[in-house]
Amino acid sequence: MLERVRHPDTTQVTFVLPADHPCGEVSVVGDFNGWQPGSHPLSTRRNGTRSVTVALPADERVCFRYLAHGDYWFDDEGADGHDGTNGYLHT
């Protein structure tokens, strides 16, 4: 799930996953962090879900995926679309 808060020059995007799927550590990787695993790890919220918030430039298309323990890559069903390899969102 993606939560967005738009500002004049940026969009705060919160990437949210259920507490236990997939199990283990998960990070979000994409254009915004040079596809560097571990740069944006998800942390547990009070309600049990996991999330990380990233400030992104407004009015851009950003590609991203999740990377979980064991080199398990997966997409977010809430993405604006998929380009065949990655999910993307419009900020």
Indicate the domain borders of the chain. Answer: 2-81
* Cβ 90 vs Cβ 3: under 8 Å: no
**Residue 16 in tokens:** 């949210």
pLDDT at 20: 81
CATH architecture of 2-81: Sandwich (2.60)
* Cβ 48 vs Cβ 55: under 8 Å: no
Mean pLDDT by 10 residues, the chain (91 residues): 95 93 92 96 94 96 95 94 94 93
Predicted model pTM: 0.92
pLDDT at 87: 96
With b for 16 or more beta-carbon neighbours within 10 A and e for fewer, the 39-71 pattern comes to ebebeeeeeeebbbebebeeeeebbbbbbbeee
* Cβ 13 vs Cβ 3: under 8 Å: yes
